[in-house]
Structure 1
Amino acid sequence: MKDVKFAITDIETTGGGIKGNKITEICVLVVQNGEVIDEYHSLVNPGTEIPLYIETLTNINDAMLSDAPKFTEIAHEIEEITKDCVFVAHNVNFDYNIIKAEFENLDKTFQRKRLCTVRLTKKLIPGLFSYSLGNICTSINISHYDRHRAKGDCEATVTLFQRCLALDPEYEVLNSLLNQRTAASYLPPNFKNSDFEKLPTSTGVYFFKDKDGIPIYIGKAKNIKSRIKSHFQEKSNQKYKLMQATYSIDYELTGSELLALLRESTLILKYFPKFNKAQKKVNRPYTLTSYHNQKGIEQFVIHKNKVSPVSWMKFYTREEAINFLEFICTEFELCPRYCGLQTGVEHCSHYKIKSCSGMCKGEIDATGYNQRVARAIEYIQEYENSCLLVEKGRSKEEKSFIYLKKGRYAGYGYVENSEDFRPEQFEDYLIPQENSSYSDRIINRYLNTKKQLNRLNLDREEEVEELETEVCFEAMAS
């Protein structure tokens, strides 16, 4: 380790995260055996104007850069001075990824082993109030001249690195950081690797939190640990800002992916996290209704804005509505022409449904056809019943349930497989929830696309309810 070279680097940029950010100044100081053995420093013409707030912060202006070399002119020198070195920086992913992007713009590859002095300092000098370069230098009495300029910040980082080496004479911490095979190299600078390793691989919702413990991003995942790692590896400007603001990550297991979607929606509405995109406004739904036409045939129709005397179901995309109509048309042997699936034709010629009842050809009378429609409506009305949707639990020993009150989301709960649970007892386990247009949409999409449901109806007669209970809770125990 004594012979290893460390290319301690700092850059100034045009600002705005990682993507599209251009270098305006770069400094590289190569350290070996604790001493600086090589140096490179230059202003860089970014080919774009410097924003006023960046000029105010760094005192670098357009006039200073007009005669400076462009990155393409100094790329070879950067490549050479960092060659065979460990790339070191304070918050290394920022400097490294911007330099890497500059090389990629030239169709060149830049790949170096990385070391972050934020992580190194946290390991060797724990308990500081802040680990920004300026605050560390103030806390442990390091001279820091020309702040927010590449050479001044780079020189301060070298001194900090030398202090850390003195606290790690056997290079134990240094080696552990360089040889990690986990997501540690992608972790936010304020987030502990040990906390990442504790994250579950189960389904649920997760919370990125700021230094005050306030949620700043909420998401859902089938595998929480894997999804969070993918956040760390994304290089968009928004994700970079999120990583910089993240100090801790919390989670809530749900077991069920459907319940994870519902909890995510509820929690976003509760906390309005700053890094979540605002939930899209749910458009006025498509409504499935029916009426008797002039021939006395009960006919289905989908509309979006009309007021109708009956409303059987709601859909939030036309595709969902059409798919459902095609299903009931096939399942109950109906006629596509009288299900709103074909217009302007005398006889059905649907591209998908070949089992037309023959109503359009007069092969069945209106009374017989309407009986089929009545069975379809009876099936549809099941969706508006109060029921429990039985889903996976957080472990093999339990199941979750989602309570729909008259077809609307009203809560959830968990029950152990071993418990002698009856549907009429569900309120003892229920965690009540407020319904919203978002949860409405989630439930509707689930019911309309799920081919098999573990569903316990709560609006049926007792004998039927007992039969349904027996069947579904055998499924729960399996």
Structure 2
Amino acid sequence: MKEVKFAIIDIETTGGGIKGNKITEICVLVVQNGEVINEYTSLVNPGTEIPLYIETLTNINDKMLVDAPKFSEIASKIQEITRDCIFVAHNVNFDYNIIKAEFESLNLSFQRKRLCTVRLAKKLIPGLFSYSLGNLCTSINIPHDNKHRAYGDCEATVTLFKRFIDLDPDYEVFKDFLNQKTAASYLPPNFRKSDFEKLPSTTGVYFFKDKDGIPLYIGKAKNIKSRIKSHFQEKSNRKYSLMQATYSIDYELTGSELLALLRESSLILKYFPKFNKAQKKVSRPYTLTSYHNQKGIEQFVIHKNKVSPVSWMKFYTREEAIKFLEFLCQEFRLCPKYCGLQAGVAECSHYKINDCSGMCRGEIEVTEYNQRVSRAIDYIHEYENSCLLVEKGRTKTEKSFIYLKKGRYAGYGFIENSEELSEPSQFDNYLIPQENSNYADRILNSYLKNKKYIKKIALEPQEEAAELQKEEWFG
């Protein structure tokens, strides 16, 4: 690789992220066979004000940039000097993506092979406390003058790069990094490729953790490895900051997508990770209730704030409530007018439900109609019964279960397929109790209403002493 040219680059910018970040200074030092053969340094007018904290860090101020060229004026020079070069930088994805974005803003393409000196340092000089450019140079006695200016940082990176060549004279480590065609080329600077390769391609929750093992972000995925790879490739400022802070990734297999959703919700509430957007505050739910109107008809109604003597069911959006009421109307041949789906009409004319019971036209007796409503309420009670939801396990030899106690999330567990779940003692020993929350309620309500087939084992009301009495498939 002695004939290969490496364009070692450093930039100063208007901020710490990637999106919307503009270059204020750039330095390119081209190295071939261990020697600098070409160089270019320039201030750059970003077309925007420099934040005070950046000015304090770099000593680059707005006045210095008034007469500096804009990036559009130096783009051709950057293209020319880096052509046929491998793009090298300390934490390369930061510099590369910002320069690439500057070219894209001019409708120009910029594609170069990349090499990261942070990752080279971790491989060739393992065990250091910190791999920031300043601390790394201090640790191995490399001069680093004029810090946080493009030429000073770039010059130090060149010296560091030469040290790597001395440590890897046959370029074996260099070639290994350059030939990576997987997500490893997008890995966070503090994250090891071997750890990524160990990630499973199955369903569960995952944790991005800081250097102290504290969760920074918690997510869920059908394919953990694939989802984490997609995080590495996202280029938002928030994701960039997360990647810089990540030192390890942990995971918890669930087998079941439903259980992954529930575990993600519970774990976010437990740890409140810095990079998880706060779980949206669940507003007061919509309540489905019923009453006898002046005609003696049992009438369903949805309300949000009123106190009612009976509450059949809760919904977290009006759309969910409407959808469920439409299902009840069709399944039990009820009248949309008396289900809160139409108001101010003498007879039903619902856009979706054409098979009205005829109650609004006096075609059936009130007693018969109320019996239909009663059957609908019995059906609703099925959601409130204690039961086990049986789901996929983490392996082919096990199944998972989710325990609903009086319709509320109470825990989960895993059990071998050979276990019949014929009495409470058989799942109680495997039960991992959990606290219910509004988020868990919402997840389960949505699942029970929208899932076409649910494997559900119903329990008698006295859970602690009950025997499992039936296994059914509910459509």
* Same fold flag (TM > 0.5): yes
Amino acid at match of 2:441: D
- Cα distance 1:53–1:125, how it changes in 2: closer, same or farther (>3 A)? same
Instruction: Kindly indicate whether the alpha-carbon contact (under 8 Å) linking 2:12 and 2:148 is maintained by their aligned counterparts in 1.
Output: yes
Cα deviation digits, residues 299-348 of structure 1 (max 9, x gap): 11111111111000000011111111111111111111111111111111
Q: SS state of the match for residue 55, structure 1?
A: helix
SS in 2 for 1:399: strand
Give the CA deviation at 1:467: 5.7
Report the equivalent of 1:50. 50
User: Share of identical aligned residues, percent?
Assistant: 80
1:414 and 1:284 mapped to 2: Cα distance?
33
Q: Distance in 1 between matches of 2:152 and 2:124?
A: 23
- TM-score (norm: length of structure 2): 0.97
* Structure 2 counterpart of 1:61, one-letter code: N
Matched-pair contact (CA < 8 Å) for 1:50–1:61: yes
Measured at CA, do residues 268 and 460 of structure 1 come closer, stay the same or move farther in structure 2, by a change above 3 Å?
closer
CA shift in 2, pair 1:406/1:461, >3 Å: closer
Q: Does the CA-based 8 Å contact 1:423-1:458 persist in structure 2?
A: no
Take 2:49 and 2:461, find their aligned partners in 1: how far apart are those partners? 70
- Aligned-pair CA distance for 1:295: 0.9
Cα distance between partner residues in 2 of 1:145 and 1:460: 75
Q: Secondary structure at 1:454's aligned position in 2?
A: strand
Equivalent position of 1:392 in the other structure: 392
Indicate the larger mover: 56-65 or 440-449. 440-449
1:475 maps to which residue? Answer: none
Tell me the equivalent position of 2:286.
Answer: 286
Residues 205 and 220 in structure 1, CA contact (< 8 A), matched pair in contact too: yes
For 2:143, the equivalent position in structure 1 comes to 143
**Aligned AA for 2:470?**
E
The aligned residue for residue 239 of structure 1 is 239
Q: RMSD of aligned C-alpha atoms?
A: 1.4
Q: Identify which range, 244-253 or 399-408, moves more after superposition.
A: 399-408
The 5 Å alignment of 1:18-417 reads: 18-417=18-417
> SS at 2:291's partner residue?
strand
- Where do 5+ consecutive residues of structure 1 fail to align? 473-478
Question: Which segment drifts farther, 13-22 or 450-459?
Answer: 450-459
- The amino acid of 2:51's aligned partner reads P
TM-score, with structure 1 as normaliser: 0.96
Residue 452 of structure 2: aligned partner: 451
Query: How many residues are paired up?
Result: 470
Structure 2: 5+ residue stretches without partners: none
Deviation at 1:374, TM superposition (A): 0.5
Which amino acid in structure 2 is aligned with residue 79 of structure 1?
A: Q
Question: What SS is found at the alignment partner of 2:60?
Answer: coil
Asked whether the 8 Å contact 1:457–1:465 carries over to 2, the reply is no
SS at match of 2:421: coil
Tell me the SS of whatever aligns to 1:11: strand
CA shift for structure 1 position 16 = 3.2
Instruction: Judge conservation of contact 2:332–2:376 (CA < 8 Å) in 1.
Output: yes
* Other-structure match for 1:439: 440
Q: Residue 45 of structure 1: CA displacement?
A: 0.8
Deviations 1:447-470 (A, max 9, x none): 2222221111112699x976623x
| CA displacement at 1:424 relative to structure 2 | 1.8
Q: Contact 1:423–1:456 (CA<8 Å) still a contact in 2?
A: no
For residue 181 of structure 1, report the CA deviation from its aligned partner. Answer: 1.4
Runs of 4+ off more than 4 Å: 464-467
SS of match in other structure, 1:468: strand
* 1-structure distance, mates of 2:343, 2:283: 25
Q: Is 1:468 aligned with 2:465?
A: no
**Amino acid in structure 1 at the alignment position of 2:151:** K
- Is the contact between residue 292 and residue 298 of structure 1 (CA under 8 Å) also seen in structure 2? yes
Q: Secondary structure at the match of 2:454?
A: coil
Q: What SS does the corresponding residue of 2:176 show, helix, strand or coil?
A: helix
Using the alignment, how far apart are the partners of 1:29 and 1:16 within structure 2? Answer: 23
* 8 A Cα contact 2:457 2:468, kept in partner: no
